[in-house]
Amino acid sequence: MNPEEFRTAGHVLIDWIADFRTRLPDLPVQSDRRPGDVRAAFPESVPAVTAGIDELTSLLDSVVVPGMTHFQHPRYFGFFPSNAGLASVLGDLASSGLGGLGITWQSCPALTEVEEVVCDWMRRLVGLSSAWRGTIYDTASTGALVAMLCARERATGYGAAGKGWQGTGQGLTVYCTSHAHSSVTKAAALAGYGAAHVRFVDVDPVSFAMDPESLAKAIAQDTGAGFRPAMVVATVGTTGTTAIDPIARIAEVAGESGAWLHIDAALAGAAMLLDDYRHLWEGVEDSDSLTWNPHKWLGTALDASLFYVRDVDHLIRVMSTNPSYLRSAVDGEATQYRDWGIPLGRRFRALKLLFQLRLDGVESIKQRLRRDLAFTNLLLSLIHEASDWMVLAPVPLQTICVRHQPPGLDGEAVDAHTLRWVASINDSGRAFLTPAQLEGRWMVRVSLGSEATEWEDVEELWRIMKEAVAGALATSVVQNLDD
Ligand code: PLP
């Protein structure tokens, strides 16, 4: 494809994307495709005849769009929001169009320095001190893994990277709660700690936040048993209930033991743009590393996960290999991001954030976050006023954990009822919610924050939820009669 052909096809595609976003509200939120349906629409081998852009946009319409659950839909209330704001989509296009490759500073000085600028802007926007230096990874899972490696190397005096696990001589332990994201256990397994060395610290029974005194006890117990506590992961906004681990006290406990403290604020980082939410990560300055995902609620198109550390020299010592073919005359003067993470070749991700920050503007982003928080509170009051609905966890951010518990139903019957009504909503395509287990029982998470959501969508969701529970109860009565 030459630039002129690109120009013509590109206009068609941009128009198609704009039309797609406009008609999203009329599409089912959840895909109704069965495994293999999408694959079956393709021939076994690449067709010999080339296609025009119109053929490809038709394919998007007929095969791809129906094969998607639409996270950009105004009635998407599942998992966590994963907004792909259109300003950042343009930044993504610019990044691919430029085709830059970050392997060294010299391979693309702009790639490195725009990333430095954007990470620093984002640092200031969430109120972190200048002691932090940041980079952009693909995901928070990568951030957890890199933090785990930093912790391992600090605990072993750089022994594990050099001599392998045999050189460490002492079992290293990791601490988080059972509400921490699964990426923490995965990172511990990948970094060689072993999943069996992850300790799930007790949580407060009401807030589901880590109990720091239980953390202190677990650390003391392990130390007494000859382990070396190396890593604590505190979550600000857990995946299940958005619980907020109390960082300030956790930092004291971690500090006393010498363990590395990593903060996972994958979702909640966005809320830190708002001054009155910063108390949620009070104590963050006493941690060692921190990750949060603009590609969730903030609205930067996947993938854009910020990772910050305070001791950048340590990070570089852990991650750097510095072979001769990558050395350059500016080493020591310029940031070499290849030494700050796992991959060598890096994309120009910073453009997505740059475009979003400059085209949308910080104020409009903050207004949208405030709007979502206000919608959450309004929906919460509707749920509180309704009978038979229970809110199961505090709501510090934009996710409400609910259960519908009519009189006469309990235990497994409530579980069956919950799964029935949420499936009926998701299968209808009218809205999308995620069921999840809390303390062994099913509940439903209503996670607001899709950029396209307006108040009427939230009202509609609430109507749909009430209809769905009535429908699920009626079905179970009919089933019981049939039995
Ligand atoms: N941490 C938390 C609290 C999350 O909720 C998630 C995903 O939802 C992650 C980490 C993992 O994020 P990623 O998909 O960027 O690896």
- Whether residues 373 and 353 fall in one domain: no
CATH number at residue 30: 1.20.1340.10
Pocket-forming residues, ligand 1, beta carbon under 6 Å? 80, 139-141, 181, 183, 235, 237-239, 264, 266-267, 293, 305
Query: How far apart (Å, rounded) are the C-alpha atoms in residues 38 and 350?
Result: 32
The atom number, within ligand 1, closest to the CA of 141 reads 16
The atom number, within ligand 1, closest to the CA of 235 reads 3
Q: Is the distance from CB of 419 to CB of 435 less than 8 angstroms?
A: yes
Hey, what's the torsion of the CAs at 469, 474, 477, 479, to 10 degrees? -100
Domain boundary among 360, 383, 408: 360
Tokens 């179970």, located at residue: 476
Distance 152 CA to ligand 1 centre (A): 21
The atom number, within ligand 1, closest to the CA of 79 reads 8
Distance 305 CA to ligand 1 centre (A): 10
Distance 145 CA to ligand 1 centre (A): 12
pLDDT at position 161: 75
In a domain, residue 301? The reply is yes
Distance 143 CA to ligand 1 centre (A): 10
Domain residue limits at 442: 362-482
pLDDT at position 321: 80
Helix (H) and strand (E) counts in the chain? 15, 12
pLDDT at position 132: 98
At 100 the three-state DSSP class reads coil
Q: Which two tokens stand for residue 445?
A: 């998470």
Domain boundary among 317, 339, 360: 360
Residues 6+ apart with CB under 8 A from 3: none
The residue contributing the CA closest to ligand 1 atom 5 is 239
- Whether residues 146 and 293 fall in one domain: yes
Tell me how many domains the chain contains: 3
Which of 293, 296, 297, 307 to mutate to test ligand 1, by most ligand atoms within 8 A of the CB atom?
293
- Whether residues 30 and 148 fall in one domain: no
Q: Is the distance from CB of 226 to CB of 170 less than 8 angstroms?
A: yes
Distance 103 CA to ligand 1 centre (A): 26
Distance 141 CA to ligand 1 centre (A): 6
State the SS3 of 239-292.
CCCCCECCHHHHHHHHHHHCCEEEEECCCHHHHHHCHHHHHHHCCHHHCCEEEE
Query: How far apart (Å, rounded) are the C-alpha atoms in residues 182 and 186?
Result: 6
pLDDT at position 167: 62
- Whether residues 304 and 330 fall in one domain: yes
- Whether residues 228 and 375 fall in one domain: no
In a domain, residue 86? The reply is no
Domain boundary among 299, 334, 360: 360
In a domain, residue 76? The reply is no
Length of the chain: 483
Q: What residues form DSSP beta bridges with 201?
A: 177
Q: How many angstroms from the chain centroid is the CA of residue 363?
A: 22
The residue contributing the CA closest to ligand 1 atom 12 is 140
pLDDT at position 456: 98
Distance 181 CA to ligand 1 centre (A): 6
The atom number, within ligand 1, closest to the CA of 237 reads 3
Q: Is the distance from CB of 459 to CB of 453 less than 8 angstroms?
A: no
Distance 180 CA to ligand 1 centre (A): 9
In a domain, residue 77? The reply is no
Which of 239, 241, 291, 298 to mutate to test ligand 1, by most ligand atoms within 8 A of the CB atom?
239
CATH number at residue 392: 3.90.1150.10
Buried-state track 187-204, b at ≥16 Cβ within 10 A, e below 16: bbbebebeeebbbbbebb
Distance 83 CA to ligand 1 centre (A): 14
Q: Is the distance from CB of 236 to CB of 277 less than 8 angstroms?
A: no
- Whether residues 276 and 259 fall in one domain: yes
Which bin fits 332, alpha (ψ -120 to 50), beta or left (φ > 0)?
Answer: left
In a domain, residue 30? The reply is yes
Q: What is the pTM of this model?
A: 0.95
pLDDT at position 170: 78
Please choose, from the candidates 168, 158, 110, the residue with its C-alpha nearest in 3D space to the C-alpha of residue 313: 158
- Whether residues 316 and 453 fall in one domain: no
Which of 177, 178, 181, 292 to mutate to test ligand 1, by most ligand atoms within 8 A of the CB atom?
181
- Whether residues 275 and 185 fall in one domain: yes
At 55 the three-state DSSP class reads helix
Q: Which two tokens stand for residue 267?
A: 């979702």
Q: Digits of tens for pLDDT over the chain (483 positions)?
A: 999 999 999 999 999 999 999 999 999 999 999 999 999 999 999 999 999 999 999 999 999 999 999 999 999 999 999 999 999 999 999 999 999 999 999 999 999 999 999 999 999 999 999 999 999 999 999 999 999 999 999 998 887 777 676 666 779 999 999 999 999 999 999 999 988 999 999 999 999 999 999 999 999 999 999 999 999 999 999 999 999 999 999 999 999 999 999 999 999 999 999 999 999 999 999 999 999 999 999 999 999 999 999 999 999 999 988 766 677 777 788 999 999 999 999 999 999 999 999 999 999 999 999 999 999 999 999 999 999 999 999 999 999 999 999 998 989 999 999 999 999 999 999 999 999 999 999 999 999 999 999 999 999 999 999 999 999 998 876 666 565
In a domain, residue 299? The reply is yes
- Whether residues 60 and 113 fall in one domain: no
Query: How far apart (Å, rounded) are the C-alpha atoms in residues 332 and 460?
Result: 57
pLDDT at position 330: 79
- Whether residues 109 and 212 fall in one domain: yes
- Whether residues 453 and 349 fall in one domain: no
Backbone torsions φ then ψ of 475, nearest 5 degrees = -60, -40
The atom number, within ligand 1, closest to the CA of 139 reads 15
- Whether residues 355 and 218 fall in one domain: yes
Query: How far apart (Å, rounded) are the C-alpha atoms in residues 61 and 56?
Result: 9
In a domain, residue 84? The reply is no
In a domain, residue 80? The reply is no
